């Protein structure tokens, strides 16, 4: 709505003075012409048309006395109330000409609608304020909650605080909010403070000042006013000014030294406004029941004159008991203006306030020049925040525009950077050499299935336990300690920690005593999810960290830091005890493990990656697979990890992070090939050597002269597959010399439920394999055959690996790789370690096992070989597969340890032949033409493998990208090829590169 001008200044006496009347009329006409040429349909005066001073003077001169005085009032508004409330605000805007609103509870969409409504009703655009200390979520639903100030106080790098201020400013502008009543720069020197506490950056005045300035500049550099509060300092109180009038008895010298220090620094740094608190401070004003808000000595003499502050001065909310218990509405407004405040915040009776203010102006109790100065300061602030060119808010899509992935990512980074390791005896953290430990976890104050424990399991096998609340019986604590004492490491999450200093912040001494006793026999790592003052009640624990807040993000991040997927350098912002003073904190290092974050942190577009959901859900609807797991990692970060559907079409068991799939031929690269690379770099095997050098029994066979690298590249002339199982049945009935329906010492290889193979069957299979035919000689090309994919070569490599390591392959792989990597699910023989219900079933075998294959390897040959074979047999969830692929992508380094050398990875993942896309064991993309196993967007350096059951694992070094897809597409019948013919896996891979391209384009557009 256009700004409405008045042709006659109301403050001028025009009677009986024609000359003066002409001047006034000329001024009005000039003003009207200026306004006529500067108005637009979309808003008020364009800032480019008039300078700030011109705009302020023009608006001020156009206002009546009532309209000017109305500018001093900022009234409380809500977007979660009814039409009665909304009409009350309409009336105050239209009839009392209030200058602004402070919005409280509601939602962003509703508030945007109301903001447009109220702005349309206003003669002068309203300045909108909110208390958003930790972002919009402090007041509004459907928005992001940033960390509280005390959490931010632990962050070493203040640039993160600046970025938070910048992002909150962006969100405020989307919502039409012009001033954020933040930051709190009270120095919280009193641990018993019931109202400031976690709202303060801490007890160190320099840290408080620096972080307050960073927050303030982040907002003000981006067009939103900051307001330093609560002047002259609310940090050393043991009562709450919302309910009473707190008294601060410190000397003026102490106030100057501590409480006032951050405000002086904020003023020097350019803060645009300050909020005055409702405090009784005898050293500044010794009148009884005189709140600092209403004190001329505090507001004018101290803040304005002595400290030189020229910006806007806001009262704290005038409905708070700290003033409301002593002074009536209207009276308190007048007193606040007399004290020197500019804006009356949360005024409760505007008409009465206006009546008393006008009377005070008439009798000289208030100086008109002081009021006019305040009004002009308010108008100047409106100009600064862009209200001279006001345009209505765009309501549609506002929630999405506010809650961007980048905004969520910033929240994560702030919480990550605040995490503080307080005690770390013997340098246990970050956890390394995982093979040494048996892990358990305990959460106190959380139920089963919590995020903290879920993320712990991403790094190591854990046995999880819970105490759902504090104040457990001694019997319950003893029972729990007996369960935990046999583990090497117990990670404990302390939840339910309150911000109130009452009752030890909710921490019970009995549970802490149990942990102190437990650590006599095992290593206990405790993480406090809550107020750092609570740490005084956890003293004596040898490994202790503080996550400051208890939310899903902190629960996800804590395990990542404990295991070195992220580093930690947070410092305590307060002194919980003399043992741990302010500034205390241990640095922990990054060990090169996968961490979990949003795509944007790794340079990918969330919106594109989310399209993976549509592809997988479509595949499930088309019955290409009953369910799936998909993981995408880039630059060492898991940026997409989702589970879809069910383990079967009966929809009895949902796919979760813990679901284990038969990965089929991924076994070749996740298992056997890792061992062969290990042997190669130790010069125990030569790629140019013949197989018979390692397996002498092959010398008299047609396979003795096969070259290792030809076997690994599938060009050794080996036939693709041998149906060994057909030799062990007759008319679909298992032959008794090979199988038994019960497990006995002679028949102890489980093939499936109720079917056990003879221990001699493995020798038979090996004999049949050695004596199998090679491909026709006309397929031979020079020193090797044409490329033909074959499982047989990995039977041979399996035998080589076991012969050279002198131990079963599964034991070797577990000792050298899997246990050290902390893989929680990846293994052979899953039924020996996991409940059957955790494993996705595969095929309903109607020709060999005559039943549903569930928990035993799908591949017949691998099953007959005892469940451990070079070409199949591994079961895993997607997370563990991603870890092995990431280790290879990181040139053999992971979790602080080196598994393989970079040159080994390079040798084995490089394409060797012009007529064969494969590397040594690894599959590779088809670079020209169709029909390859990958997207055509991958780089030539990409390597990985696919599996018959519907699995895929790929790593692209050029894009620093890992992609894992696990499914049981062979359930219930292996002939279901929809997953393959629909190119589900490659379509998903296409999106990964599109996501990278889109992100890079968005960055380029932003930089322009």
Torsion angles phi and psi, residue 621, rounded to 5: -60, -35
* Closest of 351, 386, 564 to residue 458, by C-alpha: 564
DSSP 231-293: ET--SS-SS-TTTS--B----HHHHHHTTTHHHHHHHHHT-SEEEE---B-TTT--STT--GG
Structure token digits, residue 258: 């501590």
User: How far is the C-alpha of 822 from the C-alpha of 605, rounded, in Å?
Assistant: 30
Active-site entry in 85, 240, 242, 349: 242
Kindly provide the residue ranges of all beta strands, DSSP E only, lying in 663-752, ordered along the sequence: 729-730, 733-734, 739-740, 747-752
Pick the catalytic residue: 186, 285, 316, 384?
Answer: 316
Distances (CA, A) of 139 to 111, 148, 553, 571: 11, 14, 20, 29
What's the first-to-final CA gap in the chain, in angstroms? 33
- 536 touches 577 (CB < 8 A): yes
Catalytic, 930? Answer no
- 524 near 541, Cβ under 8 Å? yes
Q: Name 493's Cβ contacts closer than 8 Å, sequence gap at least 6.
A: 441, 442, 443, 444, 446, 450, 452, 453, 526, 527, 529, 555, 558
Rounded to whole angstroms, the Cα distance separating 178 from 619 reads: 48
Cα 519 to Cα 101: distance, rounded to the nearest angstrom: 55
Cis status, amide bond into 136, omega within 30 of 0:
no
Q: What is the Rg, in whole angstroms, of the alpha carbon atoms belonging to the chain?
A: 36
CA 213, CA 267: separation in Å to the nearest integer?
Answer: 9
- Tell me how far apart the alpha carbons of residues 224 and 381 are, in angstroms, rounded to a whole number: 10
Helix (H) or strand (E) segment spanning residue 101: strand 100-103
For the chain, what is the largest distance between any 2 Cα atoms, rounded to a whole number of angstroms?
130
Residues 746, 758 contacting (CB under 8 angstroms)? yes
Please enumerate in sequence order all residues whose Cβ is within 8 A of that of 669, keeping only pairs 6 or more positions apart, or say none: 921, 922, 923, 944, 945, 953
Residue 716 CA to residue 784 CA, distance in Å, equals 6
Structural contact between residues 568 and 156, judged by C-beta atoms closer than 8 angstroms: no
Cα distance between residue 947 and residue 925, in whole Å: 15
* Residue 389 vs residues 51, 392, 394, 674, 709: alpha-carbon distances, Å: 12, 10, 15, 65, 72
Cis peptide preceding 939, ω within 30 of 0: no
- Residue 766 — φ and ψ, nearest 5°? -65, -40
Cβ atoms of 516 and 540 closer than 8 Å: yes
Catalytic status, residue 240: no
Residue 3 to residue 641: CA distance in whole angstroms: 52
500 close to 194: Cβ distance less than 8 angstroms: yes
Instruction: Report, as residue numbers or ranges, the catalytic residues.
Output: 242, 316
């Amino acid at each position: 709505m256009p700004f409405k001008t008045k042709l006659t200044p109301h403050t001028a006496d025009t009677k009986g003075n024609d000359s003066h009347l002409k001047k006034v009329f000329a001024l009005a006409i000039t003003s009207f012409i200026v306004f006529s040429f500067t108005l637009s349909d979309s808003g008020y005066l364009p800032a480019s048309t008039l300078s700030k001073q011109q705009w302020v003077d023009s608006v001020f001169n156009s206002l009546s006395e009532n309209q000017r005085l109305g500018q001093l009032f900022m009234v409380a508004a809500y977007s979660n109330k009814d039409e009665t409330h909304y009409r009350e605000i309409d009336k105050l805007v239209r009839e009392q000409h209030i200058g602004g609103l402070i919005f409280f509870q509601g939602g962003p969409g509703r508030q945007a609608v109301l903001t447009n409504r109220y702005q349309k009703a206003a003669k002068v655009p309203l300045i909108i304020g909110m208390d958003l200390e930790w972002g919009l979520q402090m007041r509004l639903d459907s928005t992001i909650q940033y960390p509280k100030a005390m959490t931010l106080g632990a962050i070493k790098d203040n640039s993160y605080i600046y970025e938070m201020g910048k992002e909150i400013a962006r969100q405020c502008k989307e919502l039409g909010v012009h001033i954020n009543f933040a930051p709190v720069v009270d120095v919280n020197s009193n641990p018993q403070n019931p109202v400031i506490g976690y709202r303060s950056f801490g007890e160190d005045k320099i840290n408080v000042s620096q972080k307050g300035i960073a927050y303030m500049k982040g907002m003000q550099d981006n067009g939103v006013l900051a307001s330093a509060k609560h002047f002259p300092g609310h940090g050393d109180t043991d009562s709450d000014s919302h309910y009473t009038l707190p008294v601060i008895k410190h000397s003026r010298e102490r106030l100057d030294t501590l409480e006032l220090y951050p405000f002086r620094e904020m003023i020097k740094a350019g803060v645009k406004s300050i909020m005055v608190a409702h405090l009784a401070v005898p050293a500044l004003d010794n009148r009884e029941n005189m709140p600092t808000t209403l004190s001329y000595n505090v507001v004018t003499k101290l803040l304005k004159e002595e400290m030189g502050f020229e910006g806007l001065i806001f009262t704290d909310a005038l409905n708070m008991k700290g003033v409301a218990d002593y002074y009536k509405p209207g009276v308190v407004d007048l007193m606040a203006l007399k004290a020197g405040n500019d804006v009356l915040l949360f005024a409760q009776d505007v008409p009465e306030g206006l009546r008393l203010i006008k009377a005070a102006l008439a009798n000289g109790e208030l100086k008109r020049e002081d009021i006019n100065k305040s009004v002009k300061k308010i108008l100047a602030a409106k100009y600064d925040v862009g209200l001279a060119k006001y345009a209505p808010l765009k309501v549609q899509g506002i929630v999405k525009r506010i809650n961007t992935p980048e905004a969520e990512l910033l929240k994560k980074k702030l919480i990550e950077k605040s995490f503080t390791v307080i005690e770390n005896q013997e340098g246990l953290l970050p956890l390394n050499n995982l093979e040494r430990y048996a892990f358990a976890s305990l959460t106190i104050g959380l139920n089963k299935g919590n995020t903290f424990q879920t993320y712990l399991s991403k790094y190591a096998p854990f046995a999880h336990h819970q105490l759902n609340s504090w104040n457990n019986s001694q019997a319950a604590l003893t029972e729990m300690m007996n369960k935990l004492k046999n583990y090497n490491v117990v990670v404990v999450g302390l939840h339910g920690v309150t911000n109130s200093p009452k009752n030890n912040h909710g921490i019970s001494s009995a549970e802490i005593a149990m942990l102190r006793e437990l650590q006599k026999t095992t290593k206990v790592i405790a993480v406090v999810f809550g107020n750092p003052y609570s740490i005084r009640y956890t003293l004596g624990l040898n490994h202790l960290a503080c996550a400051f807040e208890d939310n899903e993000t902190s629960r996800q991040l804590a395990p990542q830091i404990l295991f070195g997927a992220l580093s930690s350098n947070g410092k305590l912002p307060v002194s919980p005890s003399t043992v741990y003073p302010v500034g205390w904190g241990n640095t922990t290092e990054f060990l090169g493990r996968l961490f979990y974050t949003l795509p944007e942190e790794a340079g990918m577009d969330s919106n594109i990656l989310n399209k993976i959901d549509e592809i997988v859900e479509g595949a499930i609807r088309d019955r290409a697979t009953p369910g799936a797991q998909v993981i995408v990692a880039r630059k060492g970060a898991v940026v997409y990890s989702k589970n879809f559907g069910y383990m079967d079409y009966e929809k009895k068991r949902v796919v979760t992070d813990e679901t284990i799939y038969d990965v089929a031929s991924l076994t070749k690269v996740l298992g056997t090939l890792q061992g062969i690379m290990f042997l190669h770099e130790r010069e125990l095997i030569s790629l140019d050597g013949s197989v018979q050098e390692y397996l002498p029994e092959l010398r008299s066979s047609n396979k003795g002269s096969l070259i290792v690298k030809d076997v690994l590249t599938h060009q050794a002339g080996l036939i693709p597959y041998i149906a060994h199982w057909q030799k062990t049945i007759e008319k679909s009935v298992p032959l008794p010399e090979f199988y038994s329906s019960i497990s006995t010492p002679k028949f102890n290889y489980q093939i499936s439920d109720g079917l056990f193979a003879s221990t001699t069957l493995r020798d038979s299979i090996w004999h049949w394999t050695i004596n199998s035919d090679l491909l026709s000689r006309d397929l031979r090309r020079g020193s090797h055959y044409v490329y033909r994919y074959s499982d047989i070569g990995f039977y041979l490599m399996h035998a080589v690996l076991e012969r050279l390591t002198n131990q079963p392959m599964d034991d070797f792989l577990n000792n050298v790789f899997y246990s050290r990597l902390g893989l929680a699910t990846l293994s052979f023989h899953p039924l020996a370690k996991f409940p059957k219900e955790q494993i996705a079933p595969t095929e309903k075998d109607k020709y060999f096992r005559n039943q549903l294959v569930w928990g035993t390897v799908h591949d017949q040959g691998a099953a007959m070989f005892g469940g451990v074979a070079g070409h199949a047999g591994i079961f895993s969830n997607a997370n563990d597969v991603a870890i092995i692929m990431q280790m290879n992508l990181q040139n053999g380094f992971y979790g602080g340890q080196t598994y393989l050398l970079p040159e080994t990875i390079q040798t084995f993942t490089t394409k060797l032949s012009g007529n064969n896309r494969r590397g040594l064991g690894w599959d590779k993309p088809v670079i020209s033409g169709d029909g390859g196993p990958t997207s055509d967007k991958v780089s030539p350096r990409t390597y990985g493998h696919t599996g018959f059951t519907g699995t895929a694992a790929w790593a692209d070094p050029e894009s620093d990208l890992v992609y894992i897809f696990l499914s049981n597409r062979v359930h219930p019948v292996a002939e279901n090829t929809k997953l393959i013919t629909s190119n589900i896996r490659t379509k998903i891979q296409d999106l990964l590169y599109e996501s990278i391209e889109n992100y890079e384009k968005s960055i380029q557009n932003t930089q322009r």
